[in-house]
Amino acid sequence: MDHRQVSLVAGIPTLDIRTFTQGTDAEKSAFVKDLGNAYESIGFAAIHGHGIPDDLISKLYAESASFFALPYEVKSQYARPEANNQRGFVSMGVEHAKGSQAADLKEFWQVGQPTPPEGYEPSHFPTNETVSERPEFQATAVQAFEALEDLGRSILQAIALHLEIEESYFDEWVRGGNSILRAIHYPAIQQEPESAVRAGQHEDINLITLLVGASAAGLEVLRHDNQWIPITALPEHIVVNVGDMLQRLTNHRLKSTTHRVVNPPRSEWGKPRFSMPFFCHPQPAMRLDALPHLVPEGTEPVDAPISAGEYLNERLKEIGLAK
């Protein structure tokens, strides 16, 4: 079997996960090296060969579109501000990028861990919502959540090997972790927008983010030369990027890359945009203190010690989801 293929889609490396999960020792080592190089340079990679069924993704998009088409009065019944907006419906105007007062032009639905760890703290793992008007929506989202959580664990195993720590380092932290699957709807633009962006430039909070395509272009990544480049993966690819938690843990060896979603050209204003990121979080107790062997002798870690739960709460307040 030779699935090894490193190519570029819109400027980011594309890798076949089967070379890691099913390949020879040499293929597995090559995948680890290529993935590590991607995350130390641009912070993004496109993964294919993941085995997540196309019909599951298609159904998730269809169910999401049907939900967002419901009247606002219906959708708002499923808002959960008391859970820091980590479950259910979040309306337009709530979330904004860190350091920005301009709200993102999106509404979204949040699905959390369906199988929390034993003895979990309820405040960290609120129950998921079910939409009575769209009974298949939540079931489909949970199925996608579990498939993406499995893929995320495999990618983190490769990252662990790149960092020269135990391959299983992240496994128990991510299994039953505080991950979120977010179905995002950017409505069609009806009038001259106040800003050129639908979602302001930001870095993700979590360990890694798995982005299941998007219904339209718009995602841009800030390269290290301060140039914005568009990222449009092929339908069979899942774009995976490093988040701030992993950047902290690796003392910034792996880069949490700045990205944004820009408005389409005027000719495309009438089309909505849907996106399905999976934010892979560990359990709240995981420490994000820099790994000692990644802190050069005689220096201090870039970031102060903190747990994943503490850091998540801090960041949710900064972006307007928690009070």
For the residues of 270-323, what is the DSSP string, one character each? Answer: TS-EEEEEEEE---TT-B-PPPGGGS-TT---SS---BHHHHHHHHHHHTTS--
Other C-beta atoms closer than 10 Å to the C-beta of 230 total: 12
Point out the residues of the chain with pLDDT beneath 50. 1-10, 196, 215
Q: Which tens digits make up the pLDDT trace of 226-255? A: 888 887 767 788 999 999 999 999 999 998
φ, ψ dihedrals at 282, nearest 5°? -85, 180
How far apart CA 319 and CA 314 sit, in angstroms, is 9
What is the per-residue pLDDT for 192? 58
pTM, full prediction: 0.90
Cα of 166 vs its chain's centroid, Å: 24
Strand partners, 16: 48
What is the per-residue pLDDT for 6? 41
Contact partners, residue 225, CB within 8 Å, separation at least 6:
none
Q: Of 274, 264, 243, 269, nearest to 107 (Cα)? A: 274
How far apart CA 140 and CA 151 sit, in angstroms, is 17
How wide is the angle at C-alpha 203 spanned by C-alphas 205 and 129, nearest 5°? Answer: 45
Cα of 303 vs its chain's centroid, Å: 22
What is the per-residue pLDDT for 3? 43
- The domains located in the chain, with CATH, are 52-318 (2.60.120.330)
